[in-house]
Structure 1
């Protein structure tokens, strides 16, 4: 590789990062970081996890398992110890598998970023389909492996309502700050409304929470920024290089269009790769530019956050190789079918 070509690729990567740091993206990501930080620090994990108790009705445990990723703000790494905990404490393989698949896929940062970069249709499809199919995965695992529960309960005993109502109110305010730039296009009105929302959020945050809680919120937000942003920028940088070096015809041949094979290749590739939080989005964005279809894009978004080689090893150690192999196969198959169905649905409106 000549020095001139190397510099050209470096420029392509840096230009990709520069475009990523555009104002409209920052308006999306900065509120999302504060929202994720608030969720991680001010929402009680215990108040959510207790819904997995052995005495909780199935419809409660599966529903909470499917949607709790939004409230727990976990990624594919941090979900593993939570999964191990609720499984070993009596949640059962069904709800635990639902939680394991859904939680990383509906991480609030991931959903917001997907919608912003890849389009709101794909962002919404990622969230809704991940929630619905996580229940399918959980029920399938329970049907295959779970025996009738005995009268003994191994762990979490009770379930009930979250006591932290102020956290829910804060969630609504931060969500309003997050979506307002997408609803208002006029700069003047956007500035006025955003300023008002930010001031109201600051006022009620100081009223509702102690200095220690606010400090924990800011600390958690800064931790997420430090943990995610460097890897995300690195992913964007290499995504810019991929555009220049990856032959477009290869992308079109293997993951173009909307065949079963293209969706299967996309799902399998994503399952074997390791995506740091959010980095799947710029990479998939580049692949769509090079010709990847809508269906395979969704297949990658479903399988990528849920699986990786390190993730598979840990899951095998927690639930055993047999259960893990079935779980992994279910994810790949379901991601393939979902991508294919989504691609067909989108094609009807194009």
Structure 2
């Protein structure tokens, strides 16, 4: 009974920690839906080519979304027509780094790692996206929803209203900014939330089990050998829930105990992009095969890049004189309220399936 209480408590902690980022991610997804035309998404991220992977990887590097916050945004891009490979690249480069985590890396580690971290995230996203593109491409192209700017065309001279394809009539004028925003939020907190919320809550419970039985302190006895240290960091970081910013002080604290820079990078790459909550949702977005390729690509790439980073530090002669000054982050009022909001959306919200999402279509 006590063990069950601990698991439930840890699951609640994970939910409270991730809920604000999830809500922010849904908000970002709504903005993407509202203000980025679907034909733009399909044109730049919808093709199975290297250019789509490059754009998705670059697009995700500066965005400050964690492994949970990126999920709704990526699911929205996928629904809008992004290819599996491009979606995979976006899912990797976004949580592994961001403008906030780069700044924390500069402060707690050093300027070189602050440069190598986003570069490594970009390379991992490109390699894994290419792996998914080659071994599990889109069999059937995702059909993007008609872009709002294409739907609202000027009415002919006879003042006939234009149709939005949902059995109702749309005004001839283009939607206003507020109408676009309302449409985007209706999409993200309706259809999109309904699609991935179940996967997310299942993953949160799994993360609770992992948090109870696995701890970063388990790696302390294996820090002497660089190879073993990277393997242990890979094993610990892969299932553990930790965002890009929160992973930085953990890595810095372990470095003070003798962890090599390559092993620190492995944890900084694998931790934010591969946790139980994220993997369960990614399975729903991309499918089981792509999820396995996603996991394999991150693990192999981070391991190889870890050796490369150790080589860079060895050649430059830099020492690990890093400082760790971050305290453990617990539940906050914002996190608790956000978790309750998520539960409220499940209990009282209703998805927009079967309804018209265009702002000018008043279908009820």
Task: Report the TM range for the smaller structure's normalisation.
Answer: 0.5 to 0.7
Counterpart CA distance in 2 for 1:269 and 1:332 is 12
The number of residue pairs the alignment matches comes to 220
Counterparts of 1:10-29 in structure 2, within 5 Å, are: none
**Partner deviation per Cα, 1:166-207 (whole Å, 9 max, x = no partner):** xxxxxxxxxxxxxxxxxxxxxxxxxxxxxxxxxxxxxxxxxx
1:154 maps to 2:143: yes
Cα 1:298–1:72, aligned 2, differ >3 Å: closer, same or farther? closer
1:278 CA drift (Å): 1.5
| Match among 299, 305, 310 for residue 338 of structure 1 | 305
Counterpart CA distance in 1 for 2:56 and 2:251 is 27
**Partner deviation per Cα, 1:229-283 (whole Å, 9 max, x = no partner):** xxxxxxxxxxxxx99xx69xx63x5244432x42122122111111145211111
Counterparts of 1:239-278 in structure 2, within 5 Å, are: 251=220, 253-259=221-227, 261-276=228-243, 278=245
TM-score (ref. length: structure 1) = 0.56
Counterpart CA distance in 2 for 1:68 and 1:98 is 9
| Match among 283, 288, 291 for residue 321 of structure 1 | 288
Counterparts of 1:1-350 in structure 2, within 5 Å, are: 45=32, 51-54=40-43, 58-70=49-61, 72-147=63-138, 154-155=143-144, 251=220, 253-259=221-227, 261-276=228-243, 278-350=245-317
Cα 1:255–1:53, aligned 2, differ >3 Å: closer, same or farther? farther
Task: State the 4+ residue runs in structure 1 displaced beyond 3 angstroms.
Answer: 43-52, 54-60, 147-150
1:123 CA drift (Å): 1.2
Contact 2:128 2:293 in 1 (8 A): no
Cα 1:320–1:285, aligned 2, differ >3 Å: closer, same or farther? same
Contact 1:280 1:304 in 2 (8 A): yes
Counterpart CA distance in 2 for 1:134 and 1:288 is 25
Cα 1:92–1:66, aligned 2, differ >3 Å: closer, same or farther? same
Q: Secondary structure in 2 aligned to 1:291? A: coil
1:121 CA drift (Å): 0.8
**Partner deviation per Cα, 1:135-185 (whole Å, 9 max, x = no partner):** 1110111100105666xx611678xxxxxxxxxxxxxxxxxxxxxxxxxxx
**Partner deviation per Cα, 1:30-75 (whole Å, 9 max, x = no partner):** xxxxxxx9xx98x963566855415666344222211223454322
Counterpart CA distance in 2 for 1:84 and 1:116 is 33
More helix per residue: 1
Could you tell me which runs of 5 or more consecutive residues in structure 1 were left unpaired when the two chains were aligned: 1-36, 159-241
Cα 1:280–1:316, aligned 2, differ >3 Å: closer, same or farther? same
**Partner deviation per Cα, 1:1-29 (whole Å, 9 max, x = no partner):** xxxxxxxxxxxxxxxxxxxxxxxxxxxxx
Counterpart CA distance in 1 for 2:304 and 2:282 is 23
1:85 CA drift (Å): 1.9
Counterpart CA distance in 1 for 2:71 and 2:97 is 15
TM-score (ref. length: structure 2) = 0.54
Contact 1:52 1:95 in 2 (8 A): no
Which one scores higher on RCO, CA 8 angstroms, separation ≥ 6? 2
